[in-house]
A and B are shown apart, each in its own frame.
Chain A
Amino acid sequence: MIEVQHLSKRYGPFTAVDDVSFSVGAGEILGFLGPNGAGKTTTMRIITGYMPASEGTVTVAGHDVFSDAIEAKKRTGYLPETPPLYPDMSVRDYVTFVARIKGVPSREVRGRVDDVMKKTHIADMASRHCGKLSKGYKQRVGLAQALIHNPDVLVLDEPTAGLDPKQIIEARQLITELGGNHTVVLSTHILPEVSQTCNRVVIIARGKVVAVDTPDNLTARLRGSETMYLQVSAPGADVTQALAAIAGITRVKAEAGGNGLVSIEVDCEQGRDVRRELAATVVHQGWGLLELRPMRMSLEDIFLSLTTEDAGSAPADAAPAATEAASA
């Protein structure tokens, strides 16, 4: 549905987006994840036809966003970072105006406006001026505006930024409902966002794509090795040496707490389950085993390890990132 190929955007000498390629299939929800200044907004502005690319092409439903702009725009709904509202217009007038400029046939305007206002739960604010709405309502009116012409593609720039936790949950629900009927691209610099709403994630840092995958695969793939966490009660013992002797264990990091308690992280070769050996060793040494569990790398860790890396050496295949993460 969306094809982005070798997209670059330069502002003067500064390269904000650097050779970015990805595609989004029909009905998919793609998360565009990256720290502030990564180039998310710039990429979205190019996809929506707000500004032309310096290099590369973008097509939406087969229409080039630059050379076939009108057709591409008819199929795209866009919610910018700040909802583009006219403060002096009432919500209904505003949504009606957008319906007209998006090319909804005159006869259908009224019906579409009612539908969309119901769907985004803003019907109760229909006669309120846009400028007088709360942040949460502004965002919903922004979403209504993006949906009004029932576009194939929805581009949402940080749709949950600035909302309170309850509003965030509602917004996510709404977005999840929208996937399936629409192809959705949403940007965010907040991680839980992607793991909860998106089918696929594009991680972008300093204008470059550093990884493209499903949230689950990313987590799995980036765990180059398995890490176990255990806590034992072993007063005065050399825990590190005893555990490092177990076959398949590559690294042991122990940290002594009070009362002879020791917290230990153990890395082992991938696919090898060392829990039994670990337990047996602890018992054999006469220590008390208080806790033993696998440590999953959170998306947060992955994100940090990917995006804080030197941009030049960041490949889409994440192996180096994984080693770094494991040894960190």
Chain B
Amino acid sequence: MRNVITIARKELQSYFASPIAYVVIGFFALLFGYFFASLIYWFEQQSLQMTPGSGPPLNINQALIGPVFMNVSVIVLFVMPMITMRTYAEEKRSGTMELLLTSPLTDVQIILGKFLGALGLYAVMLAVTLIHVGVLFLYGNPEWKPVATVYLGLLLMGACFISAGLFISSLTKNQIVAGMVTFAVFLLLWVINWLGQSFGPTGQAVISHLSITEHLDDFARGIIDTKHVIYYLSFIVFGLFLTAKSVDSERWRG
């Protein structure tokens, strides 16, 4: 465990030593701020137009927080490749992989360390949004439970992207290639939903089950369904398993 933490710390340190962390967080904060502001504006318009007594008042959770965080999943799609692309590719290119693989560490410790490091940066990124949410709590009275579950959902969803990103990065020495392939794969996992609609009801059910973002819906409604949690966890484990296989086969090939 000490080794895992050492690696994770080193990963986090290297994100913040290079511009990556700042670019990622800045980009994320900017887009999030934009979505947030425009949804607030829309929410305000809707509320003002409603005449009192014409129906239930707009629910801030359903009408604002839910949609905002669904947008977050799109932003994550764009920034996550920047976080994961260098994890393995850069170590292989610069030769530091030789240091890691000749140290008394297991492959699993290295993989988990890198995974937690990336997850740490992602968590910092999400933490930026706490400011916006704080404002909502200050001036409105949203329910806290759906807010908490949406963060849990986002964390799980991000972890899936990270484990897939680690695997892709482990396949190449070139971090740019890793980044682009990762982005393409994430995009595919995202649009797969739309494709599903052309396959009829069963096709859609199957395909939307595969889509990473689709599983986020219930979390945004304040529901923690084990079905979704298990989906995310198995996705993560599978990604990390593939990474381990990839590192090991690279070692045999030399």
Q: How far is the CA of A316 from the CA of B98 in the complex (A)?
A: 31
A88-B14, A93-B13 in contact; A50/B98 too (CB < 8 A)? Answer: yes
| Pairwise interchain contact B251-A50, C-beta atoms closer than 8 A | yes
* Distance, CA A100 to CA B3, complexed state (A): 7
Complex CA distance for A50 and B18, rounded to whole angstroms:
28
Q: Could you say which residues of chain B place their CB within 8 Å of the CB of A69?
A: 104
Contact with A100, one of B6, B14, B17, B254 (Cβ below 8 angstroms): B6
Q: Residue B7 at the A interface, CB < 8 A?
A: yes
Residue of B nearest to A9 (CB): B254
Q: Determine if B100 is an interface residue (Cβ-Cβ < 8 Å).
A: yes
B105 touches A51 (CB 8 A): no
Contacts of B6 in A (CB 8 A): 97, 100-101
A window 63-109: CB within 8 A of B: 69-71, 73-74, 76, 78, 80-89, 93, 97-98, 100-103, 106
* Alpha-carbon separation in the docked complex, A277 to B3 (Å): 74
A34 at the interface (CB under 8 A from B): no
CB neighbours of B13 from chain A (8 A): 89, 93
Q: Does A52 belong to the interface (CB within 8 Å)?
A: yes
In chain B, positions 95-112 with a C-beta closer than 8 Å to chain A are 95-106
- With a cutoff of 8 Å between Cβ atoms, the chain B residues found around residue A84 in the complex are 94-99
Which of A51, A88, A97 contacts B18, CB < 8 Å? A88
Q: Mark B1-25 against chain A: 1 for CB-CB distance below 8 A, else 0.
A: 0110011001001100110000000
A50 and B102: CB pair below 8 A? yes
Determine the distance from Cα of A45 to Cα of B98 in the docked complex, in whole angstroms.
9
**Are the CB atoms of B98 and A87 closer together than 8 Å?**
no
Considering only residues 172-226 of chain B, those with a C-beta below 8 Å from chain A are: none
Residue on A nearest B10 in the bound complex, by CB: A97
Least Cβ distance of A159 to chain B in Å? Answer: 15
Among residues of B, the one whose C-beta sits closest to the C-beta of A16 is B254
Please determine whether A101 and B95 come into contact, CB atoms closer than 8 angstroms: no
The answer to whether the Cβ of B252 comes within 8 Å of any Cβ in the partner chain is: yes
* Among B101, B102, B253, B254: residue with most chain A CB under 10 A: B102
Chain B, residue nearest A80 (CB): B98
Which residue of the partner chain A has the closest CB to B18? A88
Shortest distance between the CB of B139 and any CB in chain A (Å) = 41
Tell me the nearest residue of chain A to B5, going by C-beta. Answer: A100
* Contact A101 B14, CB 8 Å, known A50-B101, A51-B251: no
Q: A49-B102, A97-B10, A101-B6 are in contact. Are A82 and B95 (CB under 8 A)?
A: yes
Complex: chain B residue closest to A83, CB-CB: B95
Known pairs A50-B98, A73-B102; list 15 more (Cβ under 8 Å). Answer: A11-B253, A11-B254, A45-B254, A48-B102, A50-B101, A82-B95, A84-B94, A84-B98, A88-B14, A88-B18, A100-B2, A101-B3, A101-B103, A101-B104, A102-B103
Residues of A within 8 A of B (CB): 9, 11, 42, 45, 48-52, 69-71, 73-74, 76, 78, 80-89, 93, 97-98, 100-103, 106, 145
Q: What are 22 of the A-B contact pairs (CB < 8 Å)?
A: A9-B254, A11-B253, A42-B254, A48-B102, A49-B101, A49-B102, A50-B98, A50-B101, A50-B251, A51-B254, A52-B252, A73-B104, A80-B98, A80-B99, A82-B95, A84-B95, A84-B99, A86-B10, A100-B2, A101-B6, A101-B100, A101-B105
B residues adjacent to A (C-beta < 8 A): 2-3, 6-7, 10, 13-14, 17-18, 94-106, 251-254
